[in-house]
Structures are given as structure tokens and as C-alpha cells.
């Protein structure tokens, strides 16, 4: 696996204030890196184009700024996640209800998992399928 190059990171963040240092993106919490990696992987697979992503993220951030948020970059990756979700929905690859249900399932799975075991979706006591 080659290192996602700086040009890709730039493309990902076109016109948006991605938190970064001289070497590339930086993350305040692990989930942010996971969310970042998802978008890089989707672009590597050709599921999203850099242009589509830049527009989706840009729109999300403009909306947040207009509503008074996202000014200091601290909620950058929240907007990132919303942009990803909305783009997947627009492409017919996900539904809002589907993501809601899966997220709720993960939360229940985490609560039901004893320490010392990996958190698995199967651990959700209410899981049906």
C-alpha cells in the first residue's frame, strides 16, 4: 500500500481548512483518522472523485460557517463525516435511516462488550440480522 500522497491530501481538502502540519493531515482523535481514511479509500477505489468530495465537503463547511460554526476548525471532522454521509446518500449507496440504525447498533454493541474483548457488531443485544 503506497502512502497517500500529499497531492491527494490537498485534493481531499481543496478549499477547506484541513487541520495539518508540514507533513500532512493531523487528527485530534482516532475516529477522525478513520473518517479520513474512509474517504481516501473511496477515492482510491474510484467510488468518489476528488472533485465530488471537495464540493461535498466545501458545501457542508460553508453551511456550518453560515450557521456560526466551523470557524476554528475544531468541528472540521464532524462536517467531514456529514459530507461523506450525504454524498453516499446522494449516490444511492446509503440511507440516512440505515446509517442511523447501524450507528445505534454499534453504540449498543460497545456498551455490551466486556473490557478485554474487541467491540464487534455481533455484540449488539438487539441485533437482528
What is the contact surface with other proteins in residues (CB under 8 A)?
Answer: 1, 3-4, 21, 23-31, 33-38, 40-42, 44-45, 47, 78, 81, 84-85, 88, 93-94, 98-99, 102-107, 110-119, 121
Beta carbons of 50 and 74 less than 8 angstroms apart? no
Distance in angstroms (rounded) separating the CA atoms of residues 36 and 31 = 8
Nearest approach in angstroms of CB 2 to other proteins is 9
- The DSSP letter of residue 25 is E
Q: Which three cell numbers stand for residue 89?
A: 446518500
- Cβ-based nearer residue to other proteins, 45 or 66: 45
- Cβ-based nearer residue to other proteins, 90 or 119: 119
Nearest approach in angstroms of CB 68 to other proteins is 19
Nearest approach in angstroms of CB 46 to other proteins is 10
Distance in angstroms (rounded) separating the CA atoms of residues 75 and 85 = 16
Nearest approach in angstroms of CB 128 to other proteins is 15
Distance in angstroms (rounded) separating the CA atoms of residues 79 and 82 = 5
Amino acid at each position: 500500500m503506497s502512502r497517500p500522497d500529499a497531492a491527494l491530501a490537498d485534493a481531499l481538502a481543496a478549499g477547506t481548512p484541513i487541520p495539518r502540519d508540514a507533513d500532512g493531515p493531523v487528527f485530534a482523535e482516532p475516529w477522525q483518522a478513520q473518517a479520513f481514511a474512509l474517504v481516501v479509500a473511496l477515492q482510491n477505489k474510484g467510488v468518489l472523485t476528488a472533485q465530488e468530495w471537495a464540493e461535498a465537503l466545501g458545501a457542508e463547511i460553508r453551511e456550518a460557517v453560515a450557521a456560526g460554526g466551523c470557524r476554528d476548525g475544531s468541528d472540521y471532522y464532524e462536517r467531514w463525516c456529514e459530507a461523506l454521509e450525504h454524498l453516499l446518500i446522494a449516490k444511492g449507496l446509503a440511507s440516512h435511516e440505515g446509517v442511523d440504525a447501524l450507528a445505534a447498533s454499534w453504540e449498543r454493541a460497545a456498551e455490551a462488550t466486556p473490557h478485554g474483548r474487541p467491540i464487534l457488531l455481533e455484540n449488539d443485544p438487539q441485533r437482528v440480522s
